[in-house]
Structure 1
Amino acid sequence: MNTAPLNIQPHLHGLEQKLAALRHLQILVNILTGFSALLAAGIVLVGVEMTLDWWIELPRAVRLVLLLATGGVCGWIAARFLIRPLLSPPDDDTLALRIERATPGLRNRLISAVQLGHQERVSSPRLVERLIAETEQLAPTLAYHKAVHWKPLLQTAGAAFLLSLVAVAAFERARPASVDLLRRAMLMPVPVPRKTKVICLTQNRVIARGDNILIEAVAKGITPPHGHISLKYANGQTQTLTLLPATDDRSRFRRLLENVQESFTYKIKLNDGLSEDFDITVRPRPALASLRCFQIYPAYTGLAPTPRALGDLVLLAGSKLQLQAVPTKPLQRAVIRLAGPTREIPMQPGAEWTGEIPIPAQGLTGFSIGLLDRDGLTSKDETVYRIDIVPDKPPSVILTHPQRREELVTVYGTLWVGFEAADEYGIGAVFLHYKQDGSDAVKTVELDLEGQHPKTLRRRYEWKMSAISPLLLEGTSIEFWIEVRDTNNVTGPGVSVTPHHFLKVVSEAEKRAELMSRLDEFLGQIGAAADAQEKLTRSLGELIRQKPTP
């Protein structure tokens, strides 16, 4: 049997070119069919979603599911009619069989030529060469176009074309409503187009329990005589109320809900327009769970911080009142509102909200705490805590020596100046002030306290007249007094002075005469006292000797 190699390439090449051209045409037809099917499915699915959305206003979650379903269907069509034909095009045998079916007169000649031409050795090479040559000669007369599957393309393209015409016509006729519906199908946040567009002015709100809330909306387009608001509470209860137009603007609809106790969701309907769902969230107002007070005394008092009861805020001027507040809910801000001077002091956040009130000498009468929570709700009817300010009393001082308001001194004499002073928190300084007659210039001598700040002080100061410069002259008058200051460096210092005393500079002879006069006066007082004592003694003796009357 002869199995010599075939010499058929010139004839076979012509057949392969025609089959390759047919393959490319079939792939193009398949791609066009897939695009037509994809377009038709997209128009139908998006149109159905837009229609349903306009009819029953689909929630966003439902629109998302429909959009994903549309994407899934379109993805399947693309994989089936676009990607698959490109990845698995028809081979030569398949195309040859299609041509055989379209040209019955070939009687399997084309498929035999293609299959035998791809074999390297055959039993009758001359017969095969003749078969391929004859088939190649018949190639121009073959009905290649009948081997292409045109029907699916014509059907899908025709359907896509008709659907596109209907969709474009409907889309243009329904503008601008169709634009909004398409945007909603793409999950954009736009309302369903209606003859009446509802613009809700209240929208989402957080209010305090027991507050009133004004639900307000504006109608754009056709304005109805009234509208409705549908409420749905957290417990499932529903309620429908009427919205009436405002007297000054018939397109504005309002409804005041008083003393709201529960959260609810609401939507507004005006004519055929329906708003989105909005939430009114009811929360308790912020309040104080606890409030502690500590009085911080001024440093000069030497006193430690002391807890104070809110009902007993009697505070020393110059102190600070430290507040430690615990709110009932998280806050974004807290302030101390002062009564008297209108002022707010911000409090610092932490485990407790803290703040300090400086206590002035006067004017402050109380305080309250203002709270602002993270929902924007403020505290209400804050308690005003009364503050009574106690001023730091000035020190007390008395001059114990000399006792007489006027004294005589000599130029080189010495005057003992004695005094007693006291202060609740400590004496800061003691001064001896004096001035001479005919002059307003006051001279001062500061007495040495040896760095101490005693609360009580008893002291005698040796005042030498010769230390006064310039040297005093006889006949000069001197006015002097003692001044005591406390350690109050916040609202003070407190100052007290003794009554003014007077000195007159005399000669030594005049001083001796004054001393002798005092001595005589003193001795006279002693004699008078002795006589009075003697009389009293005699009267007492007579009373004792008297016998009682029977």
Structure 2
Amino acid sequence: MSGATLPSTSETSLVTSRLAQLRSKISLWFWIDGLSRIAWGALLLSLADLILDYLFRMDLSQRAVMLALMIAATVWIAYKWLFLPLSQVPSDDALCLRVEAANKHLGESLISALQLARLPEDKQHGMSPLLMNQTIRMGMKRAQEVDFSNVLDSLSFRFHAILLVLALGLSSWCVISIAAFPSGILRIWAERNLLLMSTPWPQSTNLEIERAVNGKVVFPRGEDWTQFVTVAADSKIFPDSVHIDFRRARGRQSQAMKRTTEQPTDGSQRFEAVFNNVLEPFEFRARGGDAYTDWVQVELVDPPAVDSLELEVTPPQYANLAPEKLPPGRGPYYVLRGSSLAIQGTSTKPLASASIVIDDEKSIELKVDNSLSFSGVVDISNFVAGQYTIVLKDELGLSSRRNTSFGIRIRLDREPRVRMRLLGVSGVVVPKARIPLAGRLTDDFGIVSSQIEYSWTTSDTERKQGDGTVALESLTKQLPALEVDFADVVELEPLAIPTGSALTLRIAARDNDNVKDDAADEVPNVGKSSDFLLRVVTEDELRADLLRREKEQRQEFERLLKNEEDILTETRALEATTNNSAALESIQKDMLLQLQRRQKQVASNTAAIAERFSGFVLEVENNRIEEPGGKLQTRLTKEIVEPMQLVSGPMASESIAKLDETRRQSADVKPRGEAFAQAVAVQQKMVDEMRLILSRMVKAEGFQEAVNLLYEIQKSQQDVYDRTMKEKAERIQNILEKEGSTPTPPAPQTPVPQSPAPPEAQPPATEPAPAEEATAAAKE
């Protein structure tokens, strides 16, 4: 027994090689099974991804996530069903156990033989070599009788092999379809989900988000923004409504868009949605019909704003003013019509365009100099009153809703201010009168012309009227000028204004404003003075009017004389009362003050009457009733005006001074008495002089009444003469008509009555007799 030898290595290597072949078959089985699972898993995942993307129109990020999930799932399948099984290589013992399990009649002979054959000699001590040899030989013999491959499931292997072939065939068909059909569903899916492109799915409606570039659209921060979505003209179905879906937007999930009022002319349709006061970024997409757009990221940027602004107005040329800078932020600005406005400023960010909008109606483009600065000019033709708004657009086309604006108000060049007054005439004048006038013309920028405008209308039944202008030489020499003082005379005789007319005079001045008013198409800046209304009368009517006014002044002067007599009486009474008093009492001092005030009032009223009589003198001269320095003017001046001026001037001043001195010397008996006596004496002189003036005035009135009576008689005689000549001509005409001849009778020579001078200056006429009697009565 001890001489028995173990089987040779060649006997055991046969089993070992068969186990190696089994191990290779197992690896092949794992490859077939793993690859089939990987292929079908990838196909099913791709199919699911295609269905999900087609139904829900996933955006780029969603598709990227799905691609990552598919890759991860495929890798997991490969790891679990291919890499993990292949990494676990079965040992010979494990394979032997698997073979013995599949062949029950082997028992444990195969594993025992294989293990005993591997024992080294140093571990064989204590074992029967014969028994070991017999066990090994028996196990090897039985192993040769068994097919090791029956441990594999051949049916499952064939099934997975078929599945792998089918998966490879289906994958090849998909690849060929993707390559051969560019518009096919598989090609679109591959581009969208494998290459992550934005290729759209076939759809009947095509939507386009305006201003979206590379999946982004820019909104102005903090502003209201209107976003437009267009349904392309090549769409087969035009939806009735389009919605916007929001993502990462607070409080909103979707919003319906409104169809714009004005639609494009190319057949497309446009919808709009307003985003109010956008402060945070978000994402949105548009959907309508069967179309879904990609998600668009909203980026917020600050809209352009005016950083600095300079406004310079250039007044019209006629104003002769230098350009003026307008202080920013202090509008509205009042500017002369016909000016131009220069605008220059800078922006907070680069600009693509700039414009200025006037009252949301007229837009004027501004020049963008270096992206940040802008400038322009609003010329005379466009410079109007209104609200001026500067609209800036950046390179993205954004503009701020809160644009910089300022108001312009047109400051019209006021018409010249004209003041005029008539000198030395009243409300009635004769046709040959001269009318002195004086005044002042002022204007902001210059007066170029001025003239007298007149118009007249008769009040008789024929209602004649006329108008015209008269140039003033004194004004013409001083123009053009900003300010003119003038004094001149208007002669009425060349104007041929009939008596009984209402004459209106005014002065008109035109400034140098040459800017046309488009509405009126004329230069409107003509200033006019107040109208002066005069009544043109005959000489006797003027004399009657003068006499009436003289009577009024005489009555007023009588009242003043009475007041002065009262002052004299009260002064004498006060003097007598205080003659023996050591000092004046307070009540007596108050009486002196009252007398002073009354004396001043009498003096001022007397001076006013003297001034009115001076006006009568000028009126006589300007109406040419008599030659300058005539008896009427001399009488009024020497007998009335100058004495009145003496009374109202030196005499009244002396009386007031003496009364004041009396009051101040109230404690000194002697000086007070002297002042009292002097005051009474002066007042007595005033009373005497005023009585003398009054008697002259009464005498002058009688004289003037006689003269006026003479003129009335002459007028009556002239009227009788005119009627007589007219009746004579009519009778001659009747006689000639009865005889059958109708020669034209000569026109009667109506004598033109001459305005007679006062009886002192003209000898009485020999006829008619009533005039002689009137003249004699006037002399008496």
TM-score by length of 1: 0.52
Alignment of 1:68-83 (within 5 A): none
Alignment of 1:326-405 (within 5 A): 326-338=346-358, 343-351=361-369, 352-356=374-378, 364=385, 366-387=387-408, 389-405=410-426
* Aligned-pair CA distance for 1:305: 0.9
Q: Is 1:549 aligned with 2:667?
A: yes
Structure 1 residues 323-378: Cα deviation after superposition (integer angstroms, max 9, x where no partner): 32322223344343445xx53331421432324286999x9464332333332212
Question: For the residues of structure 2 that align with 1:343 and 1:166, how far apart are their CA atoms?
Answer: 65
* Aligned-pair CA distance for 1:275: 6.7
Query: Which residue number in structure 2 is paired with residue 290 of structure 1?
Result: 308
* Aligned-pair CA distance for 1:186: 13
Structure 1 residues 277-331: Cα deviation after superposition (integer angstroms, max 9, x where no partner): 7443322111111111223222221111111213154424414443323222233
- The residue type paired with residue 444 of structure 2 is E
> SS state of the match for residue 290, structure 1?
strand
Q: Is 1:178 aligned with 2:154?
A: no
Aligned mate of 1:486, from 500, 511, 514? 511
Runs (5+) with no aligned partner, structure 2: 1-41, 61-167, 237-243, 259-271, 459-463, 518-523, 540-620, 669-780
Between structures 1 and 2, the one with greater strand share: 1
Aligned mate of 1:459, from 486, 494, 510? 486
**Cα contact 2:335–2:408 (8 A) shared by 1:** no
Structure 1 residues 414-450: Cα deviation after superposition (integer angstroms, max 9, x where no partner): 5444332111211121111223433443212344635
Distance 1:466 1:267, change over 3 A: closer
Question: For the residues of structure 1 that align with 2:361 and 2:286, how far apart are their CA atoms?
Answer: 44
> SS state of the match for residue 423, structure 1?
strand
- The residue type paired with residue 378 of structure 1 is S
- The residue type paired with residue 350 of structure 2 is P
Query: Which residue number in structure 2 is paired with residue 445 of structure 1?
Result: 470
> SS state of the match for residue 389, structure 2?
strand
**Cα contact 2:219–2:299 (8 A) shared by 1:** yes
Alignment of 1:70-469 (within 5 A): 166=173, 176-181=184-189, 191=199, 201=209, 203=212, 204-211=216-223, 260-261=278-279, 278-309=296-327, 310-311=329-330, 313-318=332-337, 319-338=339-358, 343-351=361-369, 352-356=374-378, 364=385, 366-387=387-408, 389-406=410-427, 408-409=429-430, 411=432, 414-438=434-458, 439-447=464-472, 449-450=476-477, 452-465=479-492, 467-468=494-495
* Aligned-pair CA distance for 1:518: 5.6
**Cα contact 1:400–1:420 (8 A) shared by 2:** no
* Aligned-pair CA distance for 1:496: 1.8
Structure 1 residues 174-199: Cα deviation after superposition (integer angstroms, max 9, x where no partner): 9931243577799997527599x997
Runs (5+) with no aligned partner, structure 1: 1-46, 60-160, 221-226, 232-238, 249-253
Query: Quick check: which has more Rg, 1 or 2?
Result: 2
Structure 1 residues 244-280: Cα deviation after superposition (integer angstroms, max 9, x where no partner): 69799xxxxx9999865566788999xxx99757443
Distance 1:460 1:544, change over 3 A: closer
* Aligned-pair CA distance for 1:495: 1.8
- The residue type paired with residue 536 of structure 1 is S
**Cα contact 2:414–2:525 (8 A) shared by 1:** no
- The residue type paired with residue 375 of structure 2 is W
* Aligned-pair CA distance for 1:477: 6.3
Distance 1:521 1:385, change over 3 A: farther
* Aligned-pair CA distance for 1:208: 0.6
Distance 1:198 1:169, change over 3 A: same
**Cα contact 2:354–2:365 (8 A) shared by 1:** yes
**Cα contact 1:485–1:495 (8 A) shared by 2:** yes
**Cα contact 1:359–1:389 (8 A) shared by 2:** no
Number of residue pairs matched by the alignment:
379
Question: For the residues of structure 1 that align with 2:189 and 2:525, how far apart are their CA atoms?
Answer: 80
Question: For the residues of structure 2 that align with 1:531 and 1:297, how far apart are their CA atoms?
Answer: 59
Q: Is 1:531 aligned with 2:543?
A: no
Question: For the residues of structure 2 that align with 1:472 and 1:262, how far apart are their CA atoms?
Answer: 87
Question: For the residues of structure 2 that align with 1:494 and 1:335, how far apart are their CA atoms?
Answer: 38
**Cα contact 2:450–2:510 (8 A) shared by 1:** yes
* Aligned-pair CA distance for 1:544: 3.2
Aligned mate of 2:527, from 495, 503, 510? 495
- The residue type paired with residue 429 of structure 1 is S
Query: Which residue number in structure 2 is paired with residue 511 of structure 1?
Result: 625
Question: For the residues of structure 1 that align with 2:457 and 2:59, how far apart are their CA atoms?
Answer: 105
- The residue type paired with residue 323 of structure 1 is I
Percent of aligned pairs sharing the same letter: 17
- The residue type paired with residue 186 of structure 2 is S
Between structures 1 and 2, the one with greater helix share: 2
Structure 1 residues 187-246: Cα deviation after superposition (integer angstroms, max 9, x where no partner): 997527599x9977574421111357889999x9xxxxxx99777xxxxxxx99995697
- The residue type paired with residue 408 of structure 1 is V
**Cα contact 2:356–2:366 (8 A) shared by 1:** no
Distance 1:314 1:376, change over 3 A: closer
Structure 1 residues 101-157: Cα deviation after superposition (integer angstroms, max 9, x where no partner): xxxxxxxxxxxxxxxxxxxxxxxxxxxxxxxxxxxxxxxxxxxxxxxxxxxxxxxxx
Query: Which residue number in structure 1 is paired with residue 111 of structure 2?
Result: none
Question: For the residues of structure 1 that align with 2:407 and 2:644, how far apart are their CA atoms?
Answer: 62
**Cα contact 2:418–2:527 (8 A) shared by 1:** no
**Cα contact 1:408–1:511 (8 A) shared by 2:** no
Distance 1:405 1:380, change over 3 A: farther
Question: For the residues of structure 1 that align with 2:251 and 2:644, how far apart are their CA atoms?
Answer: 108
Distance 1:199 1:228, change over 3 A: same
**Cα contact 1:429–1:447 (8 A) shared by 2:** no
Distance 1:210 1:312, change over 3 A: closer
**Cα contact 2:431–2:537 (8 A) shared by 1:** yes
Question: For the residues of structure 1 that align with 2:250 and 2:512, how far apart are their CA atoms?
Answer: 73
C-alpha RMSD of matched pairs (Å)? 5.8
**Cα contact 1:347–1:353 (8 A) shared by 2:** no
Query: Which residue number in structure 2 is paired with residue 79 of structure 1?
Result: none
Question: For the residues of structure 1 that align with 2:341 and 2:449, how far apart are their CA atoms?
Answer: 29
Distance 1:263 1:544, change over 3 A: closer
> SS state of the match for residue 437, structure 1?
strand
**Cα contact 1:366–1:386 (8 A) shared by 2:** yes
Question: For the residues of structure 1 that align with 2:424 and 2:392, how far apart are their CA atoms?
Answer: 63
Distance 1:527 1:349, change over 3 A: same
Distance 1:404 1:372, change over 3 A: farther
Question: For the residues of structure 2 that align with 1:344 and 1:327, how far apart are their CA atoms?
Answer: 22
**Cα contact 2:434–2:492 (8 A) shared by 1:** yes
**Cα contact 1:488–1:494 (8 A) shared by 2:** no
Structure 1 residues 490-544: Cα deviation after superposition (integer angstroms, max 9, x where no partner): 3531422232243637569971299765654455233223123314314423553
